[in-house]
Chain A
Amino acid sequence: MSERSVIHDIGYQRYTGIRLGRGYAARSLFEHGVRVAFGLGRSAKAKIFPWIVIGLVTSLALIVVAVKAQTGEMILTYQQLPSTASVLVMVFLAVVAPELVSRDLRNQTLPLYFSRPLARSDYALAKLAALATAVWLLMAGPQLLMFLGSAFTAENASGVAAEARGMLGGWVVATLYALVFSSLAVLIASIASRRAFAAGAIVVVFMITSPVVGLLAALGEGGALSQIAPMFSPFSLPEGVRSWLYGTSFDVGPYGPVYGLVTLLSITVCTLLLLLRYRKVSL
């Protein structure tokens, strides 16, 4: 292709139509973010990792459905799916969060966004919402698949209703995971402009907490300390809330509400730090 492109002389048209505001721009950015998360409209290379993870989580659900159909036994409940898939979800975060935010830092695209009506906080929140939605879909999709499989094998309407209730419970847990994981991952990725560093940092932060929790729990010997210890890992924090709400996970003793509070605090603090990060970002 020649470098010296010809400028065709067709008159310029001024635009007099509708101009939608900041809210529309933020919604568009969110939508764009969700598409980026799944590699839609991107090269095949960008699709590989997200879709491998999606494939694995989906096959988890398919196995559950298949076993249920054969034996009638549910080897994994709707609520257990997020925790079983949590390492896969983390891999998804490590791939997608840098894709969403580090890329804009690396390519210095931020000045183009911030020289438009979009506010810095709009940008940060749209990216966070996009990641949380993508992560939620990653878990809620397979849960829906489990429901559809189970509903077909259910004997009567009340059986289907019970499955639906189960799925909704699973969605609540998936929402908790999505919010806790995403807020932390976006915050980490927003600090690193290199994707590889961002991905590594996310894995390190998520993984390093697990042995700490294990150690504390062992020290507590089933006492108060071991009931509190899981709070310190993003992997087990949502599980604690699940126990508090449904009593279906590990023993949290009387600390259920504390889990709820810490979860809320974690999401809030990460989001505020993210907003601060983008307020301070140099252009």
Chain B
Amino acid sequence: MALIATQSLTKTYPGGVTALSDLTLSVEPGIIGLVGANGAGKSTMIKTLLGLLTPTSGQAQVLGLDPTTAGEQVRARVGYMPEHDCLPPDMIAAEFVTHMGRMTGLPRTVARERASEALRHVGLYEERYRQIGGYSTGMKQRVKLAQALVHDPDLLLLDEPTNGLDPAGRDAMLTLIHRIGTEFGISVVVCSHLLGEIERICDSLIAIEGGRLLRADRVDAMTTGTDVLAIEVAEGTDELSAALAQRGLTATAEGRMLLVPLADEDTYDLILRTVADLDLPLHRLDQRRHRVAELFSTAAPQPSLEVTHV
């Protein structure tokens, strides 16, 4: 069963802004990255999956349930971490998470136990009896995650969980999300505008732009067979390119380098022979793994998609 499936999902806000447009996708359980620039429709997508927004047309299924008609059942099994600040500063973290656990139907004592557990799992233990107002941004993000985790959901929807964190904090948060997805056995949807940041922890990626689906697939499917060889010669780059084309290799220029798709081991030999035939000074020949980001940038031009390589 697909974790999340949508059919022609469209959401137009009153006022005419189309946040999601004809989105059809289906993803398997695991850690799913939902990437897109700010305003691409990520938050709208999450809220629609939670049943907080009603789609203008089309359908969505979360855990096999339709959030527009079975919102209550969906929300009982899903944990949501909003993008913005959402914590009462004058409450004690442990009490707040306990309260939120009860709001999801946990009996009082269970809620208290699981709140402690959830806070411990996100790395807050000693600090949990302090008021949230005195917490750092990193600690607040952890409390937000803990309140989403307290009722042991089957799916976590995390909206920009690394927002406002420093590089070390981002790493810690991503490691934590990866742990939740792998060790805890909870599926996670992570929203981010930083593809480079989340691609390494994700099993699948959904890329949206302007409310439209760019691509939704497993990360390994995206990266298989996409390795390239980078060739750098001191001179005669153009001659080499032409010679390679004659031998059936399409080389694309990137700066001073030529990139050739790596089909099999013979590609190496072919290139070396070509270089030797032309008698060119070879500086570099190495294998480069295509980053998912590059796949998107070649699939469709999307200058607004911010990419950082970690």
User: Within the assembled complex, what's the spacing in Å between the Cα atoms of A28 and B147?
Assistant: 16
Binary per-residue interface labels of chain B (78-93) against chain A in the complex, 1 for a CB within 8 Å, 0 otherwise: 1010101111111000
The listed residue (A4, A19, A32, A118) touching B106 by CB distance below 8 A is A19
**Which of A12, A22, A43 has the most CB atoms of chain B within a 10 A radius of its CB?**
A12
Decide yes or no whether B63 CB sits under 8 A from chain A. Answer: no
Decide yes or no whether A157 CB sits under 8 A from chain B. Answer: no
Q: A3-B139, A22-B72, A114-B52 are in contact. Are A108 and B123 (CB under 8 A)?
A: no
User: Within the assembled complex, what's the spacing in Å between the Cα atoms of A117 and B180?
Assistant: 22
The listed residue (B47, B151, B179) touching A15 by CB distance below 8 A is B151
| B172–A117 touching, CB < 8 Å | no
Residues of B within 8 Å of A, CB-based: how many?
56
The listed residue (A4, A103, A117) touching B75 by CB distance below 8 A is A117
**Which of A1, A5, A19, A20 has the most CB atoms of chain B within a 10 A radius of its CB?**
A5
| A8–B47 touching, CB < 8 Å | no
The listed residue (A7, A41, A116) touching B103 by CB distance below 8 A is A116
| A5–B99 touching, CB < 8 Å | no
Q: A3-B138, A12-B183, A107-B87 are in contact. Are A115 and B125 (CB under 8 A)?
A: no
How many A-B pairs have beta carbons closer than 8 Å: the answer is 123
User: Within the assembled complex, what's the spacing in Å between the Cα atoms of A24 and B139?
Assistant: 30
B52 — which chain A residues lie within 8 A by C-beta?
Answer: 111, 114-115, 283
Residues of A within 8 Å of B, CB-based: how many?
43
| B184–A12 touching, CB < 8 Å | yes
| A6–B152 touching, CB < 8 Å | no
Decide yes or no whether A46 CB sits under 8 A from chain B. Answer: yes
User: Within the assembled complex, what's the spacing in Å between the Cα atoms of A11 and B179?
Assistant: 11
The listed residue (A5, A13, A109) touching B86 by CB distance below 8 A is A109
The listed residue (B86, B124, B175) touching A112 by CB distance below 8 A is B86
User: Within the assembled complex, what's the spacing in Å between the Cα atoms of A10 and B121?
Assistant: 8
| B88–A103 touching, CB < 8 Å | yes
User: Within the assembled complex, what's the spacing in Å between the Cα atoms of A231 and B147?
Assistant: 46
A113 — which chain B residues lie within 8 A by C-beta?
Answer: 103
| B107–A18 touching, CB < 8 Å | yes
Decide yes or no whether A211 CB sits under 8 A from chain B. Answer: no
| B85–A20 touching, CB < 8 Å | no
| A28–B102 touching, CB < 8 Å | yes
Q: Whose C-beta in chain A lies nearest to the C-beta of B76? A: A117
User: Within the assembled complex, what's the spacing in Å between the Cα atoms of A43 and B175?
Assistant: 35
Q: A17-B110, A115-B75 are in contact. Are A25 and B82 (CB under 8 A)?
A: no
| B50–A115 touching, CB < 8 Å | yes
| A46–B85 touching, CB < 8 Å | no
| A108–B99 touching, CB < 8 Å | no
Q: Which 5 A-B pairs have the closest CB atoms?
A: A15-B152, A115-B80, A5-B123, A28-B102, A12-B184
B contacts, CB < 8 Å to A:
47, 50, 52, 72-73, 75-76, 78, 80, 82, 84-90, 95, 99-100, 102-108, 110, 114, 117, 120-127, 131, 136, 138-139, 142, 147, 151-152, 168-169, 172, 175-176, 179-180, 183-185
A contacts, CB < 8 Å to B:
1, 3-8, 10-15, 17-22, 24-25, 28-29, 32, 41-43, 46, 103-104, 107-109, 111-119, 283
Can you identify 25 A-B contacts, CB atoms within 8 angstroms?
Answer: A8-B120, A8-B125, A10-B120, A13-B117, A14-B185, A15-B106, A15-B110, A17-B110, A18-B110, A19-B105, A19-B106, A20-B106, A20-B107, A22-B72, A28-B99, A29-B103, A41-B95, A43-B90, A43-B131, A46-B90, A107-B89, A108-B86, A112-B80, A116-B104, A117-B104
